[in-house]
């Protein structure tokens, strides 16, 4: 169906004009202005132009979408043969070519020479039909590819929204439990904990809607979370270090937070003095994350930790295809996570 958009209409008009000018240039043979315009005064010129222009649009916007694209190939072939027979009988190119004119006292007069079998008209016919078929097929393929890409983007967006919806309540549930414990013991750092949680919640509600956020915002959230957890732990329990230049780096939100949260949920003991290690190293085109903790409590098969790690794996596969390496090992009762993200 013809799209009535101004740029496309202009392209069609220009192409038609070029097609109409071509036979005039061919027949004038480099002569003057009068000889250039003279062929356009005869019916054979308009027969030639109207035949092939109408043929192109009839094939492009009726035969192709109505017969060929739906798979009605026999009907399409029958219609094409009828058109070919019409061109064979009309012989538009031969009629145009065999018109001779001469300058007489009364003006330009045409002398007609009977045509012979017009092979050129049939050749132009097949070229016009092939051009219309090629344009229609290419356009249909482009629309199909565009719809497929749009559907894939929507699918990824829906999956990410679902995964984030699973991550957020799980993370907030654990954090609120910690603040609740501080409030019960009337700890002096309760207000500070609420402020840090407010910063984390602001980050979650305002920033993680996007697929990617500035890395400093993710790191600030991790720092607040660690500080929030350290309020209930002895000093020196967490060895957290950041190195490299984080400016202008982007990262998918809460990717690293899942592993940091896992450290505090399963790698901290109030009775055994064990230090957990968390490292974030930023390079030119790479982000390296490392964490190591002793396993004091095994997650249950249906526990939220397993869900969080599984969701993170899915998000990495969706947002960092072929651009991430995630290695999780459990050696000597140590839980070690190594994550490498390739960035632009």
pLDDT in tens, 253-289: 888 988 888 887 777 766 666 788 999 999 988 999 9
The answer to whether residues 180 and 269 belong to one domain is: yes
Two tokens, residue 325: 């390496």
DSSP state of 238: E
The answer to whether residues 148 and 61 belong to one domain is: yes
From 164, 197, 223, give the residue that closes a domain. Answer: 164
Whether residue 241 has pLDDT greater than 80: yes
- Does 132 fall in a domain? yes
Distance of CA 13 to the CA centre of its chain: 32
Report how many domains make up the chain: 2
DSSP state of 98: T
- Does 1 fall in a domain? no
- Does 22 fall in a domain? yes
The answer to whether residues 321 and 218 belong to one domain is: yes
Contact 8, 57 (CB under 8 A): no
Within the chain, where are the H helices? 6-28, 33-37, 43-58, 73-90, 92-97, 119-184, 190-206, 215-230, 255-266, 304-319
Least trusted range by pLDDT, from 10-24, 90-104, 132-146? 90-104
From 113, 142, 164, give the residue that closes a domain. Answer: 164
Contact 275, 238 (CB under 8 A): yes
From 164, 179, 200, give the residue that closes a domain. Answer: 164
Q: Whole domain around residue 247: which residue ranges? A: 167-342
Tens of pLDDT, residue by residue over 208-222, are 677 788 999 999 989
- Does 326 fall in a domain? yes
Whether residue 136 has pLDDT greater than 50: yes
Give pLDDT, residue 165: 59
The answer to whether residues 174 and 322 belong to one domain is: yes
Mean pLDDT of 81-100: 76
pTM: 0.53
The answer to whether residues 292 and 251 belong to one domain is: yes
Contact 212, 242 (CB under 8 A): no
The answer to whether residues 120 and 180 belong to one domain is: no
């Amino acid at each position: 169906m013809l799209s009535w958009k101004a740029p496309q209409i202009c392209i069609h008009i220009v192409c038609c004009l070029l097609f109409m000018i071509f036979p005039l240039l061919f027949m004038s043979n480099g002569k003057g202005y009068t000889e250039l315009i003279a062929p356009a005064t005869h019916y054979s010129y308009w027969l030639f132009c109207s035949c092939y222009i109408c043929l192109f649009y009839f094939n492009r916007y009726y035969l192709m979408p109505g017969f060929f694209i739906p798979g009605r190939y026999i009907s399409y072939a029958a219609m094409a043969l009828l058109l070919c027979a019409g061109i064979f009988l009309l012989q538009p190119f031969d009629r145009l070519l065999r018109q001779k004119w001469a300058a007489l006292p009364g003006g330009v007069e045409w002398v007609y020479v009977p045509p012979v079998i017009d092979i050129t008209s049939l050749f132009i016919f097949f070229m016009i039909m092939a051009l219309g078929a090629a344009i229609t097929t290419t356009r249909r393929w482009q629309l199909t590819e565009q719809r497929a890409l749009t559907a894939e983007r929507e699918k990824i967006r829906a999956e990410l929204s679902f995964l984030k919806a699973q991550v957020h309540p799980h993370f907030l549930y654990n954090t609120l439990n910690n603040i609740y414990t501080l409030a019960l013991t009337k700890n002096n750092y309760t207000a500070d904990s609420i402020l840090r949680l407010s910063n984390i919640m602001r980050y979650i509600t305002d920033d993680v809607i996007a697929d990617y956020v500035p890395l400093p915002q993710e790191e600030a959230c991790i720092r607040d979370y660690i500080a929030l957890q350290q309020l209930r732990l002895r000093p020196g329990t967490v060895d957290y270090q950041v190195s490299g230049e984080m400016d202008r780096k982007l990262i998918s939100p809460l990717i690293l937070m899942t592993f940091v949260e896992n450290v505090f949920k399963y790698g901290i003991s109030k009775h055994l003095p064990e230090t957990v290690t968390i490292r974030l190293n930023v390079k030119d085109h790479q982000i390296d994350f490392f964490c190591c903790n002793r396993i004091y409590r095994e997650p249950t098969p249906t526990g939220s930790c397993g869900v969080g790690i599984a969701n993170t794996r899915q998000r990495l596969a969706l947002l960092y295809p072929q651009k991430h390496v995630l290695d999780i090992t459990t050696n000597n009762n140590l839980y070690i996570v190594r994550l490498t993200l390739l960035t632009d």
